[in-house]
Amino acid sequence: MKNKELLLDRDPKRSPVRFIFSHSALREGWDNPNVFQICTLKQSGSDIRKRQEVDRGLRLCVNQDGERQDANALGNDVHNVNILTVIASESYDSFAKGLQSEIAENVADRPRTITADLFVGKVINDLDGHEQVVDRDAAYAIMYDLTINRYIDKKGVLTDKYYEDKFNGILQIAEEVNNFAASIVELIDSVYNPRAVQPENARGNNVELKVNEEKFAMPEFQALWSKINVKSIYIVDFDIDELIRNAIASLDAKLIVAKIFFKIESGAMEESKSKEALECGAAFTKETSAYGTQTRIPVNSSVKYDLVGKLVEETKLTRKDVIAILRGIKKTVFNQFKDNPEEFIIKAAALINEEKAAAIIKHITYAVLDKYYSMKVFTDLPNGFYISTPVGNYNPDWAIAFYKGKVKHIYFAAETKGSMSSMQLRSIEESKIHCAREDFKAISSDSVVFDVVDSYQSLFDMVMR
DSSP-assigned beta bridge partners for residue 364 = 236
> 401: Cβ–Cβ under 8 A, 6 or more apart, which residues?
218, 220, 221, 223, 224, 411
Q: d(Cα 108, Cα 245) in Å, to the nearest integer?
A: 66
More confident residue, 93 or 309: 309
Length of the chain (residues) = 465
- Measured from the Cβ of residue 85, the count of other Cβ atoms closer than 10 Å reads 13
Structural contact between residues 297 and 338, judged by C-beta atoms closer than 8 angstroms? yes
The string of pLDDT tens digits covering residues 177-207 is 888 888 888 888 877 565 554 444 444 566 6
Closest C-alpha among 222, 246, 367, 263 to residue 317:
246
Q: Which residue has the higher pLDDT, 33 or 325?
A: 325
* pLDDT score of 171: 87
Q: Span 436-448, mean pLDDT?
A: 81
Number of helices (H), then strands (E), in the chain: 18, 11
The arithmetic mean of pLDDT across residues 424-435, rounded, is 71
Name beta bridge partners: 263: 291
SS3 at position 299: coil
pLDDT grade, residue 424 (50/70/90)? very low
Residue range 359-380: mean pLDDT, rounded: 82
Residues 6+ apart with CB under 8 A from 411: 223, 224, 227, 228, 399, 400, 401, 402, 444, 447, 448, 449
Q: What is the pLDDT of residues 220-273, one digit of tens each?
A: 788 888 888 888 888 887 788 999 999 999 999 999 998 877 677 788 777 655
Find the range with the poorest average confidence among 276-285, 377-386, 422-431: 422-431
Residue 27, pLDDT above cutoff 50: no
Q: Is 156 exposed, middle or buried (0-12, 13-18, 19+ CB in 10 A)?
A: middle
Burial of 259 (0-12, 13-18, 19+ CB in 10 A): middle
Average pLDDT over residues 436-450: 80
Residue 343 has pLDDT above 80, yes or no: yes
Mean of the pLDDT values across residues 19-24?
A: 52
Q: What angle do CA 29, 45, 276 make, to 5 degrees?
A: 75
Residue 273's pLDDT is 54
Burial of 151 per CB tally in 10 Å (0-12, 13-18, 19+) = buried
Q: Is the model more confident about 136 or about 403?
A: 136
Whether 169 has a pLDDT exceeding 60, the answer reads yes
CB atoms within 10 A of CB 397: 11
Q: Which of the two residues, 322 and 14, has the higher pLDDT score?
A: 322
**Residues contacting 75, CB < 8 A, separation 6+:** none
Average pLDDT of every residue of the chain = 76
More confident residue, 393 or 349: 349
**Greater model confidence, 173 or 425:** 173
Distance, in Å, from the CA atom of 91 to the CA atom of 84, rounded to the nearest integer, reads: 18
For 121, residues 6+ apart whose C-beta sits below 8 A from its C-beta are 133, 134
Q: Is the pLDDT of residue 26 over 60?
A: no
- Residue 189's identity, in one-letter code, is D
400-401 and 411-416 as β-strands: parallel, antiparallel, unpaired? antiparallel
Q: Look at 445 and 143; give whichever has higher pLDDT.
A: 143
pLDDT digits (tens, 9 = 90+) for 39-52: 655 554 444 556 56
Contact 360/394 with Cβ under 8 angstroms? no
What's the rounded Cα separation, in Å, for the pair 99 and 108? 16
pLDDT of the residue at 45? 45
Predicted confidence (pLDDT) per residue in 82-136, tens digit = 777 776 666 767 777 777 676 656 655 567 788 888 888 888 888 888 888 989 9
